[in-house]
Amino acid sequence: MAKNGSATCFKRTYENALRLLETRRRKVRPKHVANAISNPHATDKTYTEARSSLRGTPSITGMRNWLQKIGYTDNDVAALNIVHVAGTKGKGSTCAFTQSLLQEWGKRTGFPTKIGLYTSPDLTCIRERIQVNGQPISEDLFTKYFFEIWDRLFTQEDRIVGDDERQPRYLQFIALLAIHTFSREGAQAAIFETHHGGEYDATNVVSAPVVTGITSIGLDHLAQLGPSIEDVAWHKAGIFKNGSPAFSAPQLPAVETVLRSRAVEKGVQFEVVPVNPSLPLHANVLRAPVQRMNCSLAIALVNAFLSKKSPSEETKLSDQDIARGIENFSWPGRFEVIKTSRCTWFLDGAHNELSIGQAVEWFAGMTMASSERDVFQQTSPCMIIFSHMSEERDGPSLLRALATAVERSDIRCSEMVFTTYQERRDGKIRPDKTLKPPENSLADLPKQYCDLWRAIHPAARTRYIPSIEEALGYAHSASFQSGGLQVLVTGSLHLVGGALYLLQQWKTDEH
């Protein structure tokens, strides 16, 4: 590779685009919990000083300049008709529901015919982050648009100077790539999920969204957004823009207070959305209570979007639009069920204490025998496969939250299996896989989880298995002894992404 990531000596291939993109990953993240002011009524200046002094360079820094450099103005971005979504849990699902509902409206009315969806992280390939009409863009399109903006951002002068800090990092680049892709593809609407925060998030370069939404807020990414939940809420509400209505899922009182305060500060019409009572009762994708909330928020976002942008006199989703949007909804790795020959796999990438409880509640509900769930057998034993390896979050605390949720749900789990993020037993890494190996200091965590689980449940059966492929294989083998097995795979999107990729390969082989 040429110095500083130059593509001059590279063929314009998909594989080389991925290699160049990898050079934009930053080497380290902030490792200490931020010590910001917790007062939700603190001034922008106070919070800006705390953010810049304690948490590194804000991700929003440079984004507007880079947008101009690749040829876009604020008006060009506004022309994408963006729905902007922030929150702690449910951002991706809410964005996917929004996309599905808008797509059904577009099929019936002729607008919008092309809808962009930008989310992160990806589960099985990088292109999942940039979708058009519910499908990841092709390798050819990714490659074409990647090099179009790479060559504009990394000029010969920049390579000579060699100042990487003046160029976009990994997530910043992908956000720019999404804007470029949606513009070139003629998207008439685009849904953008924030990365971590809001106020200083790279996606907040969107200065005039049509509408904004906030999903459930909890304590997560505290090194960047904390230390208190009020601080987290302040950051998430940074996507509010004057002239754009804002909607939120129900929140803790302290969080709602901050959101309302920020809405007043920014001159934004703000509304908390309850669960929509007209949602179908028995839709599989709404089995998890939190998904009913995410879908309700998406309905509010789409109706607000249509009230401002619909070219027809009709400006509200019909019951049929909603029913079809839910029926055609898909969001891999979140409350997903996959059936193979002898196992039913329940996958949810829960990676914080709020979401792990929701995952267990969903799993318990789905495996409970009733007239509404007769496709599952109550007598089938269950197993849980868990992994979480991160310096940003407290893995043992997450595991304790899992144990509490399991006890509360009265799940009879025959065995706990702990594994790593290594997908294959031979260690081979697929080209599209974006996860980097965790730090060496985390290598022993899965084995420690075995000890911690036995300390919580002394009689429990636990097992450490070094790769996801072997963990899935072990569960499959165990199913022969029990006549079937129900397996919850949770704890990390990285674990679930690997499991999903392997299970898809299995299903392909079965057919």
Binding site per annotation, positions: 120, 193, 221, 334, 348
* SS3 per-residue string spanning 283-346: CHHHCCHHHHHHHHHHHHHHHHHHHHHCCCCCCCCCHHHHHHHHHCCCCCCCCEEEECCCEEEE
Angstrom CA distances, 415 to 463, 485, 487, stand at 8, 11, 10
Neighbours of 447 (CB within 10 A): 14
Binding residues for Mg(2+): 120, 193, 221
DSSP state of 425: T
Query: What are the angstrom distances between the C-alpha of 56 and each of 30, 298, 321, 413?
Result: 7, 33, 44, 43
β-bridge partners, 135: 132
Q: Hey, how many other C-beta atoms are within 10 angstroms of the C-beta on 165? A: 9
248/265 Cα distance (integer angstroms): 16
How far CA 470 is from CA of 356, 384, 387, 420, 503, in Å, comes to 23, 14, 13, 10, 12
Exposure of 502 in the CB half-sphere (CA atoms within 13 A)? 24
Helix or strand (DSSP H, E) at 86: strand 82-86
Q: Report how far residue 118's alpha carbon sits from residue 190's, in angstroms, rounded to the nearest whole number.
A: 8
Q: Point out the annotated binding site for ATP.
A: 334, 348
Neighbouring CB atoms inside 10 A of 254's CB total: 14
* Rg of the chain on CA atoms, in Å: 23
117 strand-pairing partners = 131, 191
Amino acid of residue 402:
L
Partnered with residue 339 across adjacent β-strands are 344
Say which DSSP state 97 is in.
H
